[in-house]
Amino acid sequence: MSSIFCEVSKYLMIIFFALYTWECFSVFQRKKTKERQAAVFRRQNMLMFLLHFDGFLVLYDQTQNSSVLIFYGAQVIFFLIVISSYKLLYEKSAQLLVNNMCMLMAIGFLILSRLSFDRAVKQFTIAVGSMIFALGIPFFIQKIKFVRNLSWIYAAAGLLSLGAVAALGATSYGAKISFRIAGITLQPSEFVKIIFVFFVAGMLYQSRSLKQIAVTTITAAAHVLILVLSKDLGGALIFFVVYIVMLYVATGNPFYFIGGLAGGSAAAVAAYKLFAHVRVRVVAWQDPVRVIEKEGYQICQSLFAIGTGGWFGSGLNQGMPEKIPKVEQDVIFSAISEELGGIFAICLIMVCMSCFLMFLNIAMQLKDRFYKLVALGLGTTYGFQVFLTIGGVIKFIPSTGVTLPLVSYGGSSLFSTMILFAIIQGFYIIREREGKQNGQKEESLRQ
Amino acid sequence: MGKKKNPSVNNREFAVVAYCFIGLFLCCIGYFVYFQLVKSEDFINNSYNARQENFEKTIIRGKILSADGEVLAETNTDSEGSETRRYPYSELFSHIVGYSTKDHGRSGIEAWANFNLLRSNAFFLEKTMDKVTDEKSIGDNVITSLQYPLQQAAYDALGEFDGAIVVMEPATGKILAMVSKPDFDPNTVSENWEQIVADENSKSPLLNRASQGLYPPGSTFKIITALEYIRQNPNDYQNYAYSCSGTIQENNSKLSCFSGEVHGTVDLKRSFVKSCNTSFANMGLSLDADQMKKTCDGLLFNQALPVEKLETSKSSFVLNQNSSTSEVMETSIGQGKTLVTPLHMLMITSAVANDGVLMKPYVIESTQNHDGQTVKTYESKEYGLVLTKEEAGILREYMRETVTSGTASKLNGMSYEAYGKTGSAEFGTNKGDSHAWFVGFAHREDKADIAVAVIVEKAGIGSAYAVPAAKEVLDAYYR
C-alpha cells in the first residue's frame, strides 16, 4: 500500500507544481485587479504547502524517521513566518518573489532531506539565519542613498576577497573557490557577485564617458581574470556576462553587447587552448560516454538520472541520485528530475525564469538609473547562473560547476541569493511608492 | 544620455536582455525535452548506469524472441517467487542472445537490450494494479531479426568444427543468423563459469567469433584486390592478362597457386574465378599500396565497424609503399598481416550484392509490451556507398562465375542464383593448415536476397568445407 501512496504522490506533486508554475505566469496577465492577484498568490501558497506536505509525507513513509516530521514542522513554521513577515513589514512587497523564493527553498529542503538529512538541516539553519538578516535589507535600501557613491570600495573589497581566495583558498574539485574559517566554509565569490553589480552600476551611473567605461572594463576584467586563475570558470562566466549586459543597457550601445560577446568567445577559445581544465570540460561535454571513466563520469551519471527518471520520475527515494558526484550542490537539478520527474524539472526551470522576468520587470519600471542598473545586474546574475547550472547538467552546454540558487546545498550560495532577492524586494517597494506618489497609472507588465 | 531621458525608450535594452534570456531558458527546456524524447533511451542503456539493477526489483525481465516468434530467452518465476532465466535453445543462440547472470554480468542481446527488457510498457492500469498488489510488472519483449530455422541450419552446417557463420539481408542489414563455435550453454553459464573461462581452455568459447574473431581473409580478400586493380586501371582492366605457371618469383620471394595448380593464361575475371594466387600476386605488385590502403579504409578496415551494440573487433590492413615484396604478394592473396572478422567480410559482400550501398547490420527489430503492442521499432539504417554501382556490378559478375564455373561450383544449379568467393586462409607455421572461407549471397525473385559468411577453422580448403556449409544455410532459407 505504501508503494501506491508513493506512486500517487509522485503525480500529485507534479500536478501541484505545474499549477503553481501556471500561476507564476498568469499573475503577469491579471495585473489589473489587485483582488484576483491576491487570490493567485494565496493559491500559490496553498499549492506550495500541499507539495511540501506531500513530499515530506512520502519521505517519512519511506524512512519511518520521526525527525523528518519534526524537521517538516520547523520548515512550515519558517515559511509561514517568511510569508507573513514580508506582508507585515513591507505592505508593498512583491509577493511573487516571496512565493518563488519559498517554493524553491521548499524543493531544495525536500530533495536535500532525501539526499542527506544532516545537510538539509544545516541548510535550513543557514536559511533561518539568512532570512533574519535579509528581512532588514529592503528597509535599508530605502533609507540609505549613498550606496551609489562607493564604487571603488566595492571594487577593492571584491578584488581583495577574490584574490585572497585565489592565493590561499582551499581547492575543491580542481577549483579554488572557498575559505575555511572556524569550521565554516565560505565562498566569497557568491557575495562578490552582488557587490560587483553595485560597483559596475555605480561607475556607469556616474558617467558613461569613454574613459569611465575603460576604467570600469579593466576593473571588471580583473575580477574575471582572478576567477579564471582560481579555475572558477562558472564564476568567471557569470561576472563576464553580467558586465557585458550592464554595459550594454547603461550605454544603449549594441556594439558593446556584440563586441563583448565576440571578445568573450575569443577569450573562451584562448582559454580552451591554454588551460587543460577547460579542455577537460569540453571533452566531457562533447562525448561524455567516451570518457565515462573519468572526465565524463559526472555528466553521464547526471544524464542517467534524468533519462532513467523520465517524464514522471521514479518517486522520492526510489532513484539513485547519490550515484552522481556533487549531487547536492551542482547537480541537484538532475536529482530532482530523476525522482520528481522531467515535467517537474521543466516547471522548475519555468519558475526560475519567472523570477528572472520579475527582476527585469522591476528594473524596467524603476525611475532611478542606479537602481535600474543594479536590479538588471542582479537579475542577470541570477538568470545566467540558473542557465549555467541547468544547461550544464543536462549537457546543453559544457558544465561549469555552479549551484542552482536557493535549491542547491551551500550556505554562501543560499545566503547571498537571499540577500539578492531582498535587495530586489527593496527596489520593488521603492517602485510601488514612486508609482503612487506620481499618481501615474500603473504600466501593465509586458512579459 | 541623462536622467531626463524618457525611461520607456531606455527600456528597449531591458527588453532585449529579457528576450535573450527567455531564449536561453527556452533552449534549455527544448534540449531537455529533446534529450528525454530522443537521446535518453540509448544513453541510459549503459553498463555504468547502476539504476538498471533497481528495475529488477519491480520488473520481471522480458523475453527475447526470434523473428518467427520462437522464445530465445525468458524468465520463469517459481512458486516461491525466485526467478530463473531460461534459454530454451541452449547453445544454439549462445553468443548472439548471450546470457544474463547476477555474478558474471551479461552479454549479447541480453546486455545490449538490458534496459528494454527491464522496462514495462504494459497497460498503465495493469501496472497500477501491480503496485497495489505489490507484484512485479512484466517487462517488454525484444523482437530480434534472427530466424530460428536459419540459425539451426547454420549451427548444424558448422558441425563439430570451430568457426562462425553469419547471415544478413544486404538490403536492410538485418542479421538473420549468427553462430559461433565453440559455444556454451547460457542456462548453466554461472555454474560452469570457471570451466568456461579456464586458462587451459584456450578456445575462449565466450568470444563471438562472428563479430570479434580476427582471421586472415585468404582468397576472399581477392574481392578487394580485384576491386583495387579495377580502380587503378579503370580503362584497361579487361585487357589484363597473366600466364600462370603455378609459381611466381620476385626479389627472392616465391608464391604458388593452391596445391601447385597451373592456370595458364588468365584475365582478371578468370584469375578471380579460379582464385589464381600467382596472378593476384602479380597484380598486387603493380598496384600503388597507399591507394590500396585508402580503398581498404573506405571499406572499413582499421576502424570500428558501424554496428550499434554488437561488440566487434577492428579488421586491419597495413600495407604501405615501404612494404617488402613478399608482403605485397602475400597481402594481395589475403595472407600477410591482414586480419578480418567474418561480419566485416559479410558487410563487404553485402555491399557488392546491394549495388555498393552498405546497410548497418542490426539484430534488434523492435520492442513490444507483453501483450504484443509495439513500443519501439528500430529502422534499418544506411551506412553509405562503399563501392560504385559499376564496381559492384563487375564484382557480382565475377562472383557469379565463381559459382557457375569456378571454386564454388557446389552452389551451381540450385533453385536460387548464388554468388560467392571461396578462400583457404593459411595460419600458423605449418604449411597447409588453413581455415576454410566462403562469402557470398543468393538471389531468388520470391524472397529477399541474403548474404552469408562462413569460416570453418582448421578445416582445409574453402571449396571443400565452407561452400557446403553455406549451401546448407542457403538451402534452408530457400526451402
Q: Could you tell me which residue, A184 or A45, shows the higher pLDDT?
A: A45
Nearest CA in chain A to B17: A245
Q: Which residue has the higher pLDDT, B31 or A442?
A: B31
Q: How far apart are CA A373 and CA B13, in angstroms?
A: 11
Nearest to A308 among B12, B49, B132 (CB): B49
Q: Which residue(s) pair with A172 in the sheet? A: A175
pLDDT, tens digit (0-9, with 9 covering 90-100), for A332-369: 999 999 999 999 999 999 999 999 999 998 998 888 88
Chain B residue numbers touching A301 (CB-CB < 8 A): 48
Q: What is the pLDDT of residue A175?
A: 61
Asked if residue B1 has pLDDT above 50, the reply is no
Given B11, B18, B131, which is nearest A3 (Cβ)? Answer: B131
Test B14 with A356 for CB contact under 8 angstroms.
no
CA torsion, ordered B168, B174, B176, B178, to nearest 10 deg: 70
Q: Which residue has the higher pLDDT, A407 or B311?
A: A407
pLDDT at B6: 44
**CA B76 to CA B457: how far, in whole Å?**
37
Angle at CA of residue A91, ends A86 and A96, nearest 5°: 60
pLDDT of residue A440: 45
pLDDT of residue A143: 83
A373 — pLDDT class (breaks 50, 70, 90): very high
Residues in chain A within 8 Å Cβ distance of B32: 306, 342, 345-346, 349, 394, 396
pLDDT of residue A8: 87
Contact B28 A3 (CB under 8 A): no
Residue A402 in grid coordinates: 555552479
Q: Report, as an integer, the average pLDDT of B50-66.
A: 87
- Whether the per-residue pLDDT at B432 is higher than 90: the answer is no
Query: Tens digit of pLDDT for each residue in A147-188?
Result: 788 888 888 888 888 888 887 766 655 566 666 665 667 788
Between A161 and B392, residue with greater pLDDT? B392
- The predicted structure's pLDDT at residue A52: 95
Which of A254, A308, A384 has the CB atom closest to B51's CB atom?
A308
Confidence of residue A35 (pLDDT cuts 50, 70, 90): confident
State the pLDDT at residue A232: 84
Q: How many contacts (CB atoms, under 8 Å) link A and B?
A: 131
The span from the CA of B265 to the CA of B257, in Å, is 14
Tell me: pLDDT of A445 over 70: no
Q: Cell 609459381 appears where?
A: B247
Range among A1-5, A16-20, B427-431 with highest mean pLDDT value: A16-20
Whether residues B21 and A356 touch (CB distance < 8 A) is answered with yes
Task: Give yes or no for residue B199 having a pLDDT over 80.
Answer: no
Q: Which residue of B has its CA nearest to A206?
A: B2
Task: Count other C-beta atoms under 10 Å from residue B438's C-beta.
Answer: 31
Q: What average pLDDT does range B76-96 have in this prediction?
A: 90
pLDDT at residue number A180? 66
- Cα–Cα distance for residue pair B72/B169, rounded to 1 Å: 21
Res A32: pLDDT: 59
Can you tell me the mean pLDDT for B398-424?
93
The pTM assigned to this predicted structure is 0.76
What pLDDT, on the 0 to 100 scale, is given for residue A179? 66
Task: Among A304, A314, A387, select the one facing B44 at the smallest CB separation.
Answer: A304
- pLDDT band of B93, cuts 50, 70, 90: very high
Look at residue A7 in the predicted model and tell me its pLDDT. 82
Q: pLDDT digits over A273-285, tens only?
A: 888 888 888 888 9
Percent of chain B with pLDDT over 90: 63
pLDDT of residue A240: 94
Query: Do the chains contact at B22 and A353, CB–CB below 8 Å?
Result: yes
What distance in Å separates residue B308's CA from the closest CA in chain A?
Answer: 14
A140 contacts A426 by C-beta, under 8 angstroms: yes
- pLDDT tens for A82-126 read 999 988 888 778 889 999 999 999 999 999 999 999 999 999 999
Q: What is the pLDDT of residue B10?
A: 63
The pLDDT score that the predictor gives to residue B310 is 84
Predicted ipTM of the assembly: 0.92
Banded model confidence at residue A396, pLDDT cuts 50, 70, 90: very high
Average pLDDT along chain B: 89
- Residue A287 is predicted with a pLDDT of 87
Read off the amino acid at residue A299.
I
Q: What is the pLDDT of residues B98-130, one digit of tens each?
A: 999 888 888 999 988 888 898 888 887 787 777
Measured between beta carbons, the chain A residues lying within 8 angstroms of B134 are 3
Q: What is the pLDDT of residue A276?
A: 83
Contact A252 B10 (CB under 8 A): yes
- Cβ of B51 within 8 Å of Cβ of A367? The answer is no
